[in-house]
Amino acid sequence: MNELSVSVVVVSRRRPDALRRCLTGLAQLQYPTYEVVVVADPAGLKSAAELPFSSELKLVPFDKPNISAARNLGIVEAAGEIVAFIDDDAVPEPQWLHHLVAPARQSDAAAMGGFVRGRNGISFQWQARSLDRFGEAHEIKLQNDKPVLLNPPKGRAIKTEGTNMAIRRDVLIEIHGFDPAFHYFLDETDLNMRLAQAGYATAIVPLAEVHHGFAANRMRTSDRVPRDLFDIGASWAVFQRKHVVVSERAAQWGRLRSNERRRLLGHMVSGGLEPRAVRQLMHRLDLGYVEGQEREQIATKLAVHPAAPFKRFPTKWRKSTMIGTHPLRFQKDLKAAASRVKNDEIVTLICLSFTAMYHHIALNKDGVWVQRGGLFGKSDRTDPLFRMTTRSRRLEKELRRVARQRGFGKG
C-alpha cells in the first residue's frame, strides 16, 4: 500500500529543551514517508542542530511572536502531500502519523485531528470537539476509537487542535494557510471555520495521539497561569471581524470577558495570582481587544510549489518493547532501556511500586517512554482508586492500553 507523503511542521520559540524532546519523539515515528520541518528561533535551531539526526531536518529560521506566520513558513517548505502540525512542547506516539493520515487515503477527508493527552501522559486534554458559529468549542461524544468523517452543518466547524492535526497541502494553499492576524490563539480555530465554509470534511482520529505538556511561554507559566492576555483579546477581535455578525459581537465579548475574569479569579484563589495581577491582566485583555479590531488582515498567498524537495526522514523499523521494573531496579533498568533505544527499539519502561499511587508517563531525553506509579493505583483516571492485581497482570493491562498507539505486536 502506497502511503501519502507527510511533512511534519514544528514551530518553536524560546523553548529549545522542549523542542529537543519533541524531535526525539518524531524520530521514533513508524511511518515510511515523512519529513520534519522545524521553524524556530536561534536557540531552537541550535538545539535541533545538536541532535544526531539534525542533517535530516529542514531548518527554517524565524524569531517573531506570530505562530500563524511561522506555520505558513513551514507550509512553504513542506513538500509532502499532507502537512501535519505538532507543538514543540508535545511528543507524538510512535504510530501517530500511521493513524492520523489514514482517513486522507481512505476517504474524502481534507483535514484530520487526533486526541491530545495532558502532562500526566494518560488523562485526555482534548478529544473530539466541534465549533459553533462563535468559534466556541463543544465536546463531541464518539462511540468508539475508530476514525469518524464529519461534515458540519452550515455555520459550524470541526475542531482540530493545533498540536495534533494534518491537512492536505493543496487545500492549505487554496484557503491561504493560517491568517497572520492571529499572532497567538484561535489560529487553528479560524482555519477550521474556513475549511468548513469551503465545504471540506474533517476526520477525527482517536488513536492518533500526542502528549502535550503546556510548557511555559510568554503568555503563561508552566502551571497555565496567564502572564499576558493581550493577544487573546486581539485574536477574539480578529475572529469576530471574520466570522461573527456585528449585532452579536458585544454580547459574545461580554461572555468571553466574564469567562476570562472567572479563570483569573480561580488562579488568585489557588495562590497563582495576586489581586492586582487580575486587574492588570484584564486591562491587557481589553487593550488587545481594541487593537485586534484594527489589526490588518491580509490573505496570505502561499506558493503552490514547495521551496525545497521532499526530504524523507530515514525511517527505521523499530520493535516496540516493554520492560517492567520496580523502584530498587529503576536506575539500572533505565540505563538498559536507553541503550536499547540507541539500538533502534521503542522502549516503554514501567516502574511499579507496591502502592496505590497514580501513574504518569512521559518520553525522557533519551527517548525512553517512562511510566511510573503504584501496582494498585490508577493509570486511566476513570479506574477505581484501588484495585488488587498481580505484577504480570498489571503489566499486561498497561501494554494493552497503549498497544496500537505505540506499535506493540507490529512486525
CATH number at residue 177: 3.90.550.10
Confirm if 37 and 78 have CB atoms less than 8 A apart.
yes
Predicted pLDDT at 186: 97
Return the amino acid letter for 289: Y
Query: Has residue 377 been placed in a domain?
Result: yes
Closest CA to 34 of 81, 72, 86: 81
- What is the per-residue pLDDT for 279? 96
| pLDDT value of position 221 | 85
Residues 200, 258, single domain; the answer is no
| In a domain? residue 38 | yes
The answer on 179 and 44 residing in a single domain is yes
Please give the pLDDT value at position 79.
98
> Is there a single domain that holds both residue 193 and residue 124?
yes
221: in domain: no
Task: Evaluate whether residue 129 is within a structural domain.
Answer: yes
Question: Containing domain of residue 115, as a range?
Answer: 6-212
C-alpha cell, 304: 503552490
Same domain, 100 and 157: yes
**Residue that the C-alpha cell 511542521 belongs to:** 9
pLDDT of residue 408: 93
Name the stretches of the chain with pLDDT < 50. 411
- The pLDDT of residue 213 is 84
Q: What is the pLDDT of residue 130?
A: 97
Query: Concatenated DSSP letters for 162-221?
Result: TTBEEEEHHHHHHTTSS-TT-SSSSHHHHHHHHHHHTT-EEEEEEEEEEEE----BTTB-
Domain's final residue, options 212, 244, 275: 212
Same domain, yes or no: 108 and 206: yes
Whether the Cβ atoms of residue 87 and residue 217 lie closer than 8 Å to each other: no
Per the domain annotation, does 222 fall within a domain? no
Q: Which residues neighbour 387 within 8 Å (Cβ) at sequence distance 6 or greater? A: 376
Same domain, 43 and 186: yes
Tell me the three state secondary structure of residue 150.
Answer: strand
pLDDT of residue 215: 77
**Domain presence at residue 235:** yes
Residues 202 and 238 reside in one and the same domain: no
pLDDT of residue 378: 94
Residue 96 lies inside a defined structural domain of this protein: yes
Quote the CA–CA distance of 71 and 84 in Å, as a whole number.
10
Q: How far apart are CA 193 and CA 200, in angstroms?
A: 10
Domain check: are 174 and 64 in the same one? yes
CA angle 225, 230, 234 (to 5 degrees): 130
Number of H helices, E strands in the chain: 12, 17
Q: Nearest to residue 120, comparing CAs of 403, 408, 372, 313? A: 372
Q: What are the two backbone dihedrals, phi and then psi, of residue 360, each rounded to the nearest 5 degrees?
A: -135, 150
* Same domain for 89 and 39: yes
Pair (123, 36) in one structural domain: yes
d(CA 409, CA 411): 7
Residue among 320, 311, 400, 314 nearest 367 (CA): 320
253 and 104 co-located in one domain: no
* 8 Å CB contact between 22 and 10: yes
Cell of 354: 507496591
CA distances from 400 to 49, 106, 407 (A): 36, 26, 11
H/E element, 20: helix 16-26
C-alpha of 153 from chain center: 26
**Cα(205)–Cα(41) distance, integer angstroms:** 31
| Residue at a domain's end among 180, 212, 244 | 212
**Based on the structure, what is the number of domains in the chain?**
3
* Beta-sheet pairing, 6-12 with 201-212: unpaired
Domain assignment present for 369: yes
Res 337: pLDDT: 98
pLDDT tens digits, 114-144: 999 999 999 999 999 999 999 999 999 999 9
User: Do 197 and 235 belong together in one domain?
Assistant: no
Which of 158, 184, 212 is a domain's end point?
212
pLDDT digits (tens, 9 = 90+) for 205-259: 999 999 998 777 888 888 889 999 999 999 999 999 999 999 999 999 999 999 9
The pTM is what? 0.95
Q: Which residue has the cell 508517563?
A: 361
How far apart are alpha carbons 149 and 271 in whole angstroms? 43
Give the count of beta carbons closer than 10 Å to the beta carbon of residue 133: 15
Grid coordinates in use for 358?
Answer: 497514580
